[in-house]
Amino acid sequence: MAPTITMSHILVAVFVVLVSKEAALVMGQGNGNGKGNGNANGNGNGNGSGNGNGKGKKADEADVSNYDVLTPVGSGQEPGFCKANGACYYKTLTCPSECPQRKPKKNKGCFINCGSKCEATCKC
């Protein structure tokens, strides 16, 4: 005798599919803070905690260079007007006198960070 599929079997199968999808969504929610356990999508370490706000490493990397280059001041130091959301939002950061230009031919260059650090520093 061949087994027959009843309506209850179909309902159980649909229920199992829905529950497994919900579990996948819950496991994908993490804190997404970019401190080693999140990414730009807000997916974290799978423990279900946190807000999943999507501000992970990739988002911060995009914020770092989100600025407009302004006309250099009288000393030749180049300023940058930050457009990234966060602590630097609408602030002007000016290169230090040790490295007044962002892209010099020689010497150290200025690095304007409009991300979480909100600073202009010298880099090689």
Give the mean pLDDT of 96-108: 90
User: Higher pLDDT residue, 38 or 12?
Assistant: 12
pLDDT at position 5: 74
pLDDT at position 65? 86
pLDDT at residue 92, as a whole number: 94
Judge whether 102 and 78 are in contact, CB under 8 Å.
yes
Domain locations along the chain: 67-123
pLDDT per residue as tens digits for the range 41-86: 444 544 444 445 555 566 567 788 899 999 998 888 999 999 988 8
pTM for this structure?
0.50
